[in-house]
Structures are given as C-alpha cells and as structure tokens.
Amino acid sequence: MVVQQAAADNSACTQNELTVAGSTTVYPVAVEWAYGYKTNCTESNVTVAWELGGSSVGAKRVCGDPSYAPAQIGTMSRTFNPREAALQSDGYTYNCLIGDTTRSVAQFVAFYDAVVLIVDSNDTSVTSCIEKLGCLTSDQIRWMYSNYTEAELIATGWNASSLSNSDGSDATHLWSELNATCPAIEIAIAGTDTVGRLSGEAEFFLKSYIPKYPVEPLRSSYVSIIDHDAINLHVLETKGAIAFNSYHAAQAGTPKTMFVPIKSPSGTCVTATKETVQSLTYLPLGRQTFMSVLTSDCTALLDGLSYIKYAYSPNGQEDIADTYGIPLTATDLASGAMKIETLRAGCARLF
C-alpha cells in the first residue's frame, strides 16, 4: 500500500519526490506526518510505503540495495545491525555496509513504542494472582505462550522454578501453576496477528520471550487477532485470558483492562507507562523507533530534514499521540533539532 501526498511551494518544503519506507510499526505515524506536512507544503510528493519486510527493507532502501527502489528515509523499529551499517563517532550517523556502500545516513528517534500484556480488570481471581506474583517473569511468559513441553523448555534454558506449583502436565497451563493461591483455570493466551507475516507487535513480543520462534511454536490455543481493539474485547469476554497488544491500543481499553507488570532484565517489576517507556526502563517490551535520512546526497538530505522537522514539531508530536506510540521527550526534541541544524549547515558549506 502506498500513500502519496503533495507539499507546498515554500523554501522549507521539498520540491522533489520524497520516499519514506520500511517499518510497519512506524508506518501509521509516518502517514500522519505526511498528511500534516501537506498542510503547509501542498506541491511536493511525499510517498509513504508499507513494506512486508519491515525494518530490514527500510535499511536496504535507504542504503540503496539494488533489489529495491531507493528511499530518502528508511524507517525502522530498531537501530542498524553491524551487517547493515557502521556507526560513526558522532553517535548518530552511519556508513552503509549493504547496497551502495558510498551512502551514509543520519538516524533520528521517531517515537517510543511498547507492547503490553493485559488482563480483565474485573477478573479478580486473575488480578489477585498477578498482585501476589508482583509481576510476570520472562520464564513465566515463555511457558504461557510456548508450545514446548516442560522438558523441552528446561533443555533450552528455561527455569523450572518459575512455576512454584506445576501440576506436571504439559496438557494444561493453569494460573494456579504459577502460584498455589492463583485460580485453577486455564490461561487463555491471545495477541496480535501471527497468521502469515507477523505483526510488528507479535515480532517484538516473540523476539523478547520466544526468540527461536517459529522453531519453538506458540501453543495451538493461541488466538491471533488482527484488530487491536478486538484484542481488548477478547480479554474482557474470555475467562482467564491474557493477551499482548500495542501500548497505544491497550490504553484505549483501560480501566476495563489492566496492564500486567513484567520483570525487567534488571530484576525489578515494571508496568508500562509513558514515563517507563520513555526512560527505557520498561524492558524488554519498550523501545525507540527510528527514521534514517540519506545524508550522502544533499538534495535528499535537505528534503528529508524538512519532513523530519515537521515530525519534531508540536503538531507532529500530537500525531504520534493520536495515532500510535508515545511522543518524544523534550531532550529528544532538542537533540533532534541540533542534528537537523548540524546536517543542514554541512550541506550549506557545499554550495
């Protein structure tokens, strides 16, 4: 799917075609930014492309991989990996190691994103269980969602002590297996779409807790739901349910649904809030997303920076809150503004 928009005859607006492509997570916000950009810039084309390959394709397109049409901005729900690009000493520019290796890019934080686990707030047997536990550990979440037997889990590094009251049966996954005070009802698991290509949320969740997926599959009882709002409803209608959803969509379900605290790598229990996600303490399910603008071509760079400048404006930040994700912090915005001016000045010296 491609959305095309036009921008205005204005010195701050691109007079050339600008292509933004990559992450499916960033896509809905990037589209809103394109609409907002059009408000002031009505004569230039901005194309926002939805890519099946997600972040990897975003990296390839901005780095000029010949298998893909080039893009001036690649969107990603992660940073570049060492095979794709080499980080430079300034901490935000990269030299491409794939595609056209003469290309360089500058990476900007787009917005904050998180995946959350939710349960029915009115299902007191489940909420009391979670309160007793304090939070869910990585091993507990893996056991809930994985189709592996306990023997297979143990053989692949799982900590069996995460179940303090295991019934010894691989046929059941009861809340009471987590703790004897919890209800002896089946844990009904659900989440975002895993049919065909994984949704961005499902990919992130599984990478965090079942990194060998699909070799280690999900339980056959897993309910895959495309519509984010329907996930909230499913939790309310299903006894003993727990589901993962995007932070933005799950927020719309509160207070009828409750965010489940998770144990972070530091060993502390943390609940998803705007503050914990922005501080990157809501781990492993919180993250930053990125826009990488081509810098080795000054025309492309200046065009890309005009779009990013809108994204960093108050209206651009409102677009995030209204669409998907969590806006940037004041520190992020100040840092981004400095990068924009530094990059613009570098191009100005060439003319």
For 93-108, the pLDDT digits (tens) are 999 999 999 999 999 9
Give the DSSP H or E segment for 205: helix 200-209
Give the DSSP H or E segment for 21: strand 18-22
Q: What average pLDDT score do residues 21-40 get?
A: 91
pLDDT for res 82: 96
Token couple for 71: 């893009």
pLDDT band at 195 (very low <50, low <70, confident <90, very high): confident
pLDDT band at 349 (very low <50, low <70, confident <90, very high): low
Query: Is pLDDT above 50 for 348?
Result: yes
3-state secondary structure of 237: helix
Average pLDDT of the chain, as a whole number: 92
CATH number of the domain at 2-111+288-348, out of 1.20.120.420, 3.30.365.10, 3.40.190.10, 3.90.470.10? 3.40.190.10
Query: In which residue ranges of the chain is CATH 3.40.190.10 found?
Result: 2-111+288-348
Distance (Å, whole) CA 310 – CA 210 = 37
pLDDT for res 350: 52
According to DSSP, the residues that pair with 119 across neighbouring strands are 258
- How many other CB atoms are there within 10 angstroms of residue 332's CB atom? 19
Q: What average pLDDT score do residues 49-74 get?
A: 90
The interaxial angle of helices 200-209 and 138-145, nearest 10 deg, is 120
What pTM, to 2 d.p., does this model score? Answer: 0.91
Percentage of the chain lying above the pLDDT 90 cut: 85
pLDDT band at 62 (very low <50, low <70, confident <90, very high): very high
| Furthest CA-CA distance within the chain | 73
Which CATH class for the 122-253 domain? alpha beta
